[in-house]
Chain A
Amino acid sequence: MSQTILFTIGSITILGFLAAAILYFIASKFKVYEDPKIDEVEDALPSTNCGGCGHPGCRAFAEACVKADDLSDLHCPVGGNETMQNVANILGMEVEERDPYIAVVRCSGSFEYREKVNIYDGSPNCTVAHSLYGGDTGCQYGCLGFGECVDACDFEAMYMDEKTGLPVVIEDKCTACNACVTACPRDIMELRPKGRKNRRIYVSCINQDKGGAAKKACEVACTGCSKCESECKYDAITIENYLAYIDAEKCKLCRKCAPVCKSNSILEINFPPRKEREEKPEREKRERPSINSSPVATASALENEAEVDVIEMVKKRSEDKSNEENSENKAES
């Protein structure tokens, strides 16, 4: 008995050494030289393999960095300036600081502002719905609300807000990897500079219908009235196809455009509240649910009365729905 065991151990050990010798021989004979810097650079990268840099994974990006003559075309949006500085140090190159970017949702058509005109019961998938028709509201440009952008996000930086039916970007988690931008079939997501002190202004709408039609479909749609365009001193706002667009490069965050917008399509993120005297009575705006991308701000906005109304509305809506379903089930049985 013990002899068999000893024999087995002995033979396996010998086999093991033999295999090791062969493997060692092969490994040294067919060795592929790889720049050790690639490993170093890869270690410095966030290893998320998100593809935000335009390369298929961090390893490929590291190879591209090592091969490149200068790093001006290469940027890891997830790691940001700090990571790129580390990479540059490893490679002994210079790198310019870049402004950090963030994804923004360019649609504010929540349930409250955008009435449903039909019921969609096809596959709950944005791309499928988009290829079938304009959507269950009157706006054929706006968010379809099935959250393909949320599914595409590798960083858990997005969620669907049940109150509004719109996706929300969590500011601290978003790495501007571009995944949501490519996922959205309607081109609603856009990468914009995070802005000074994280403050930014953008038009949260992409409706290209004429003013009347846009307004009819959604209360907060940009009508292309060009009031903001004439208000802007820095030529940052352009109107094309009845839709305003703020060029983040030119925008000086002066906040002049937002108050003149009658449909409240221009969103101001992370600004301190406006002083009372700035608000003229005729320009008094309706309270709108904060589509502020910071989770903290969303939480604080919950205390807002208007917000609570929305919640109740949604609650009621879902109750109605479940009642309907129940009655249907009964009918079926």
Chain B
Amino acid sequence: MALVINNVKTFPMGGVHPAEHKLTAGKPIETLAVPSQVSIPISQHIGAPAKPIVEQREKVKIGQVIATSSGFVSSNIHATIAGTVAKIDKVMDSTGYKRDAIIIKAGNDEQEWDESINLSIDLVKEIKLDREGIIKKVAEAGIVGLGGATFPSHVKLSVPKGKKADCLIINGVECEPYLTADHRLMLEKGPEIIVGARILMKALDVEKAIIGIENNKPDAIEIMAELVTDEPGISVQPLKVQYPQGGEKQLIKAALNREVPSGGLPIDVGVVVHNVGTAFAVYEAVQKNKPLIERVVTITGKDVKNPSNFLVRIGTPVNDLVEAAGGIPENTGKVISGGPMMGKALNSLDIPVAKGTSGILLIPNEEAKRGKVRVCIRCSKCIDVCPMGLEPYLLMTLTQKEFFDRVEEDKVLDCIECGSCSFTCPSNRPLLDYIRLGKKTVASLIRERNN
């Protein structure tokens, strides 16, 4: 019998519905073979890059800290395989630039873990640590937002003075087409995610948590709903399929009908949002003392032989994943890290998997190219789909004409870069490219003004 999902919500403004292509939804998470060499970028998160604390030829164990956080908004980096540090060198990463990374060559003993890590798979429900203890542990474990934004999680948990959270939202929306990493995680690691949510609730001192899941994942909704029946305070909220529902602000609006003010943060309306992947990582860090050294990555594409969900060590070259999925199809035109809407095209397959890599997409030639850019026909479709209520066509033109004061007035900084405008534009205008440019320029102008 099909599950009947009642009380489906969504956000009211804008949004698009791209074809879902969730090819890997039925594929269980497989653990990818440990690579012989990993390159671990020291900047995998938003904020200051970590500071390497290992030297060349130093022996490292799995889970050992190899680079420490260099500020409040920064994150620890851990060794993901056991072996020796080959070198610290510039390596191409998913930003498209060569940046510093620690390269580790595997040693003889693959299973040499840091002693403090509990490797058992039993579910530990009891939360021993107190509030500060949890935040400290999350920071030590180098956990960042695994939905793709990679914002250090301990910063989100440290609620600023004068503000109070009253609700935690666990983001299991996964609104990007193709990606199924969070979906599979919910199916397979549901109990751990619930404990993770409990830990996050304790750290935030809130009584209420909502797990938001889009109703194209009825199995996940069913499993999670069953798990929360004897969990007071935690509920599952089914959501109508709509991109970009996974965006924090859209999810808060959909689940709680609260609107984050322009320029504000979710905490301004008493909400903190964490991804399901993050909740799982928090569980492992707090209950098992296991730092963030691996994540689930979906590797998929229409012509990929064996699209899969892999549990991958951070720093594994993308090429290993591609090989494991049956090699690169002949007609591949573009390789994207992340989802097709917000992801970034990669310019090499040697790029390592980072904390924010939620998927690798192999896009066939015919879909890889952008269409010919034509003039704006003033159809205002971009305005209709903008989930933030902006005017993309205008922001683009103003940026091109360098009217940055007007770009600022028109709230370019509220843009969440979801790409709905570029996706919808019938004239194939590169709206987001220019909005991003305007956003960057405006941000630097504001910084200059404040100094």
Beta-carbon contact of B98 and A140 below 8 Å: yes
Segment of A63-71, A102-110, A125-133, A310-318 engaged in the interface with chain B: A125-133
Interface positions, chain A 125-149, Cβ under 8 Å from B, are 125, 127-128, 131-134, 136, 140
What 0/1 pattern do residues 198 to 224 of A give for CB contact below 8 A with B?
Answer: 000000000001100100000000000
Known: A127-B437, A128-B437. A133 touches B96 (CB 8 A): yes
Q: Do B436 and A131 touch (CB < 8 A)? A: yes
**Complex Cα spacing A81 to B426, Å:** 54
Bound Cα distance A144, B181 (Å): 36
Decide yes or no whether B204 CB sits under 8 A from chain A.
Answer: no
**A interface size (C-beta, 8 A):** 17
A132 to B436, CA, bound (A): 10
A281 at the interface (CB under 8 A from B): no
Task: Assess whether B433 is in contact with A122, with CB atoms less than 8 Å apart.
Answer: yes
CA distance A131 to B430 in the complex (A): 14
Within 8 Å of chain B (Cβ to Cβ): is A123?
yes
Q: Kindly state the separation between the CA atoms of A328 and B348 in the bound complex, as whole angstroms.
A: 24
Q: Is A117 an interface residue (CB 8 A)?
A: yes
In the assembled complex, the Cα of A333 lies from the Cα of B373 at a distance in Å of 18
Query: A48–B98 Cα gap in the complex (Å)?
Result: 41
Instruction: Choose among A118, A123, A134, A209 the residue with the greatest number of B CB atoms under 10 Å from its CB.
Output: A123
CA distance A122 to B430 in the complex (A): 7
B66 surroundings in chain A (CB, below 8 A):
none
With a CB–CB cut-off of 8 A, which chain A residues contact B345? 133
A121 within 8 A of B: yes
B370 touches A128 (CB 8 A): no
B433 touches A125 (CB 8 A): yes
Instruction: Identify B347's interface contact among A121, A125, A128, A134, CB under 8 A.
Output: A134
B344 to chain A: which residues have CB within 8 Å?
Answer: 132-133
Residues of B within 8 A of A136 (CB): 347
CA distance A118 to B368 in the complex (A): 13
B95 on the interface (CB 8 Å rule)?
yes
Interface residues of B in 327-357 (CB under 8 A from A): 344-345, 347-348
A residues within 8 A CB of B440?
131
The verdict on B449 contacting chain A, using a C-beta distance below 8 Å, is no
**B residues less than 8 Å from A125 (CB atoms):** 433-434, 437
In the complex, chain A residues whose CB is within 8 Å of the CB of B97: 133-134, 140
**0/1 per residue, A133-173, Cβ < 8 Å to B?**
11010001000000000000000000000000000000000
Which residue on A lies nearest to B441, using beta carbons? Answer: A127
Confirm or deny: B92 has a beta carbon within 8 angstroms of a beta carbon on chain A.
yes
Chain B neighbourhood of A122, CB < 8 A? 370, 430, 433
User: A121-B370, A132-B344, A134-B92 given as contacts; is B433 within 8 A of A209 (CB)?
Assistant: no
In the complex, A140→B95 CA distance in Å? Answer: 11
With both beta carbons as reference points, the residue of chain A lying nearest to B436 in the complex is identified as A131
Please report the C-alpha to C-alpha distance between residue A210 and residue B436 in the assembled complex, in whole angstroms. Answer: 31
Chain B residue with Cβ nearest A140: B97
Chain B 87-102 interface 0/1 with A at a Cβ cutoff of 8 Å (1 = within): 0001010011110000
Contact assessment for B437 and A131 in the assembled complex, using a CB-CB cutoff below 8 Å: yes
The one of B347, B370, B430, B436 that contacts A117, using a Cβ cutoff of 8 Å: B347
**Which chain A residues border B347 with CB–CB below 8 Å?**
117-118, 133-134, 136
In the bound complex, CA of A269 to CA of B261 (Å)? 57
CA distance A128 to B92 in the complex (A): 19
B369 within 8 A of A: yes
Indicate whether A132 sits within 8 Å of B369 (C-beta atoms), given known contacts A123-B430, A127-B437, A209-B90.
no
- Closest chain A CB from B438 CB (angstroms): 10
- List B contacts of A210 (CB < 8 A): 90
CA–CA, A273 and B92, complex, Å: 41
Q: Mark B413-451, 1 if CB is under 8 A from A, else 0.
A: 000000000000000001001101100100000000000
Answer whether A128 and B434 are a contact pair too, CB < 8 Å, given A121-B370, A134-B347: yes
A134 vs B346: C-alpha distance when bound (angstroms): 10
**With A121-B370, A128-B437, A213-B90 known to touch, is A134 a contact of B430 (CB < 8 Å)?**
no
Give min CB distance, B104 to chain A, whole Å: 20
**CB-contacts of B74-95 with A (<8 A):** 90, 92, 95
Which B residues lie within 8 Å of A121 (CB)? 369-370
Q: Which residues of A contact B437 (CB under 8 A)?
A: 125, 127-128, 131
Residues of A within 8 Å of B90, CB to CB, are 209-210, 213
Residues of A contacting B434 in the complex (Cβ-Cβ under 8 angstroms) = 123, 125, 128
Q: How far is the CA of A156 from the CA of B397 in the complex (A)?
A: 24
Q: Distance in Å from the Cβ of A253 to the closest Cβ of chain B?
A: 34
Please, how many angstroms separate the alpha-carbon atoms of A136 and B348 in the complex? 11
Q: Is the CB of B96 within 8 A of A123?
A: no
Given contacts A121-B370, A122-B370, A209-B90, contact A128 B96 (CB under 8 A): no
Closest to B439 in A: A131
Q: Pick the residue among A117, A118, A128, A133 that contacts B433 (CB under 8 A).
A: A128
CA distance A122 to B369 in the complex (A): 9
Query: Closest approach, in angstroms, between the C-beta of A301 and any C-beta of chain B?
Result: 33
What is the minimal beta-carbon distance from B344 to any residue of chain A, in angstroms?
7
Most buried by A among B90, B344, B433: B433
State A131–B436 Cα separation when bound (angstroms).
Answer: 9
Residues of the B chain whose Cβ atoms lie less than 8 Å from the Cβ of A134: 92, 96-98, 347
Contacting residues, chain A, for B369 (C-beta < 8 A): 121
Query: In the complex, what residues of A have CB within 8 A of residue B92's CB?
Result: 134
**How many Å lie between the Cα of A134 and that of B93 in the bound state?**
10
- List residues of A whose CB falls within 8 A of some B CB: 117-118, 121-123, 125, 127-128, 131-134, 136, 140, 209-210, 213
Q: What are 29 A-to-B residue pairs whose CB atoms are below 8 Å?
A: A117-B347, A118-B347, A121-B370, A122-B370, A122-B433, A123-B430, A125-B433, A125-B434, A125-B437, A128-B430, A128-B433, A128-B436, A131-B437, A132-B96, A132-B433, A133-B95, A133-B97, A133-B345, A133-B347, A134-B96, A134-B98, A134-B347, A136-B347, A140-B96, A140-B97, A209-B98, A210-B90, A213-B90, A213-B98
> Which 5 A-B residue pairs are closest in the complex by CB-CB distance?
A133-B96, A123-B430, A123-B433, A118-B347, A128-B433
* Contacts A131-B437, A133-B95, A134-B96 known; 16 new A-B pairs at CB < 8 A: A117-B348, A118-B347, A122-B430, A123-B373, A123-B433, A127-B437, A128-B437, A132-B344, A132-B433, A134-B97, A140-B96, A140-B97, A140-B98, A209-B90, A209-B98, A213-B90
